[in-house]
Amino acid sequence: ETINRGHFIETIIRQDVADNKNDGRVATRFPPEPNGYLHIGHAKSICLNFNMAQKFSGLCNLRFDDSNPAKEKQIYIDSIESTVHWLGFDYGSALFASDYFDQLYVFAKELIEKGLAYVCSLPAEEIRAYRGTLTEPGKNSPFRDRSAAENLDLFSRMKNGEFEEGTHTLRAKIDMASPNINLRDPVIYRIKKAPHPRTGDKWCIYPMYDFTHCVSDALEGITHSLCSLEFEDHRPLYDWYLDNLSVPCHPQQIEFARMNINYTVLSKRKLQLLVDQGHVAGWDDPRLPTLEGMRRRGYTPSAIRKFCDTIGVSKKESRIDVGLLESCLREDLNENAPRAMGVLRPLKVIIENYPEDKTETLTSMVHPQKPEMGTREITFSKEIYVEQDDFMEDPPKKFFRLGPGREVRLRSAYLVTCKQVVKDDQGHVTSLICTYDPATKGGNAPDGRKVKGTIHWVDAGNCLSARVNLYDRLFMDEDPEKGGQDFTQNLNPASLEILNDCKLEKNLAHARPEQVFQFERLGYFCLDVKDSTSSAPVFNRTVTLRDTWAK
Ligand code: ATP
Ligand code: MG
Ligand code: MG
């Protein structure tokens, strides 16, 4: 068979559907904890869950795993929702684990009644000490044999706020000698006298992740609970809870490898540190791998989805080259981004034989390979800007740009020849005096003479002055934590270069935030959504035209 059967999870789901498991129904969920912003790693999980649901005509829920009130905030909920939508996925309305708190409480009592859970009054350090180690079995808690009646009473008093934090927990009664530490009487509920963003002061006990997660999955009728590999050891507990509770169904947990990318870090905690210590300007700094940062940088949802498709899904951890992410982006932008001209480091050119007061309008393609994208008008006059790099006073033979006596093509305009170099007192080049050949409008000489170089330019009398942020990789090493080093010691000092005096073609005054343009010969750029004003526009370099990074 030659058709692509997809990754191992798709294979499992296809077989389940063929076997009519869950009546052939497929339901997945993306379950973020609202304690930070999403990053590109989350996109892998989002794409996987939504794509599997879509492929098998099922549904994917967005469910907030909001059972830890200490770190969760509404701003994260809002950001996560808008980011999932931006990526192009639809889920109806968001669901919240906290909406199941009442049911979770009832399920916890069911475990107590079955003799499968008990209130433990050991302090946290003791619980940890009793738990044992990888090589040593744990010891039973002295409170393990409390009667169901006593446990029910203590548990309801925990709920009623009669006890201080840390004095009691509800624990599952499983096996303190299990080789899997997750099964050594894990905590189900702890006392936490913190208000919850959604349930307010209603609760002072909160369910732990492992208990909350599997029950939430079951209550929502999830069929395939896809999670990252670090939960593999938790799967026996996931199944233990569901086997012992009268839940409506028993979803199958399947683990896959997390996404890692070189030259960056992917963990909310580490990203938080970069923000808190001021190494970046915020969670949406365009250098961060957060989806908000990438969006602001000019990443498109389709490039991110393409990247997630390309890297696939497996059980094996690996580090993916950021070059692959960038090439997915370039591919998308090359095809779709309108073209424009911008000069990042301007050098004034005066065309001495061009009439003083004349301005002419030239027409250029919005996209040279896509005539359907139309044309744009650019103006030309006696004074223009070219890139400082496109001039050399003493150029080598192969330099096909401007130099004394050399002729170049100005993109979509004329052939010009450099006649004179103007310098200041220190000998710095301040402008060039050129002539143009009026017979070469559009860029071709009627006498057939060959001019190799074509450079970009901007009409000095009719352009947009702007700031441009040139972004580069945030870290210097492929593995910012190489040899256990502190990743904040590995930051690339040149990750942001600000150019304050760029000259852009006037059409860019109508750029919409996040809309990406190819600045010809330079790369892809978009209007910054946050720092731009109509009088002082700011553009971000999304990505260079080619991978120019020295490895
Ligand atoms: P972090 O370590 O960055 O805080 P997390 O796993 O704690 O991530 P959650 O909010 O719990 O963050 O993540 C929601 C879902 O996204 C989980 O199912 C998790 O497995 C998945 N996920 C998080 N990071 C990655 C990653 N790098 N690659 C693939 N999936 C990920
Ligand atoms: Mg998590
Ligand atoms: Mg985490």
Q: pLDDT tens digits for 427-440? A: 999 999 999 999 99
**Residues listed for the chain:** 551
Supply the pTM of this predicted model.
Answer: 0.95
E-only strand ranges, 108-158: 117-120
Over residues 24-52, the mean pLDDT reads 97
User: Ligand 1 pocket, 523 CB below 6 A?
Assistant: no
Can you tell me the distance from the alpha carbon of 419 to that of 32, in angstroms, rounded to the nearest whole number? 63
Can you tell me the distance from the alpha carbon of 253 to that of 248, in angstroms, rounded to the nearest whole number? 16
ipTM of this predicted structure: 0.96
Residue from 29, 33, 35, 45 to probe ligand 1 pocket by mutation (most atoms less than 8 Å from CB): 45
User: Ligand 1 pocket, 33 CB below 6 A?
Assistant: yes
Query: What are the phi and psi torsion angles at 9 (to 5°)?
Result: -70, -40
3-state secondary structure 479-528: CCCHHHCCHHHCECCCCEEEEEEEEEEHHHHHCCECCEEEECCCEEEEEC
Helix (H) or strand (E) holding 273: helix 268-276
Helix (H) or strand (E) holding 342: strand 342-343
Q: 36 pLDDT band (50/70/90 cuts)?
A: very high
The percentage of residues in the chain with a pLDDT greater than 90, rounded to a whole number, is: 97
Statement: residue 22 has pLDDT above 60? yes
Q: Which residues of 508-545 are buried (b: 16+ CB within 10 A; e: fewer)?
A: beebeebebbbbbebbbbbbbbeebeeeebbbbbbbbe
Can you tell me the distance from the alpha carbon of 258 to that of 480, in angstroms, rounded to the nearest whole number? 17
pLDDT at 2: 47
**Domains of the chain, earliest start first:** 8-256 (3.40.50.620), 268-339+466-544 (2.40.240.10), 342-455 (2.40.240.10)
The alpha carbon of 42 and the centre of ligand 1 are apart by a number of angstroms equal to 5
pLDDT at 5: 72
pLDDT at 223: 98
Closest approach atom of ligand 1 to CA 230: 20
Residues 230-269: tens digit of each pLDDT:
999 999 999 999 999 999 999 999 999 999 999 999 999 9
Residues 491-519: tens digit of each pLDDT:
999 999 999 999 999 999 999 999 999 99
Catalytic residues: 33, 258, 268
User: Does 342 carry a binding-site annotation?
Assistant: no
User: Does 18 carry a binding-site annotation?
Assistant: no
What is the pLDDT of the chain when averaged over all its residues? 96
User: Does 267 carry a binding-site annotation?
Assistant: yes
- Relative to beta strand 407-410, strand 359-365 is unpaired
Residues 265-281: tens digit of each pLDDT:
999 999 999 999 999 99
The alpha carbon of 162 and the centre of ligand 2 are apart by a number of angstroms equal to 30
Over residues 78-106, the mean pLDDT reads 98
User: Does 42 carry a binding-site annotation?
Assistant: yes
Q: Cβ(538)–Cβ(527) under 8 Å?
A: yes
Question: Which residue's alpha carbon is nearest to atom 28 within ligand 1?
Answer: 258
Number of neighbours of residue 484 by Cβ within 10 angstroms: 5
Q: 549 pLDDT band (50/70/90 cuts)?
A: low
Over residues 461-478, the mean pLDDT reads 97
User: Ligand 1 pocket, 63 CB below 6 A?
Assistant: no
User: Ligand 1 pocket, 313 CB below 6 A?
Assistant: no
The SS3 call for residue 360 is: strand
- Which is it for the CA torsion 495, 500, 503, 505, positive or negative? positive
The alpha carbon of 369 and the centre of ligand 3 are apart by a number of angstroms equal to 45
The alpha carbon of 256 and the centre of ligand 1 are apart by a number of angstroms equal to 11
Residues 319-361: tens digit of each pLDDT:
999 999 999 999 999 999 999 999 999 999 999 999 999 999 9
User: Ligand 1 pocket, 42 CB below 6 A?
Assistant: yes
pLDDT at 4: 63
Statement: residue 551 has pLDDT above 50? no
Statement: residue 3 has pLDDT above 70? no
Question: Which residue's alpha carbon is nearest to atom 27 within ligand 1?
Answer: 41
User: Ligand 1 pocket, 266 CB below 6 A?
Assistant: yes
pLDDT at 1: 42
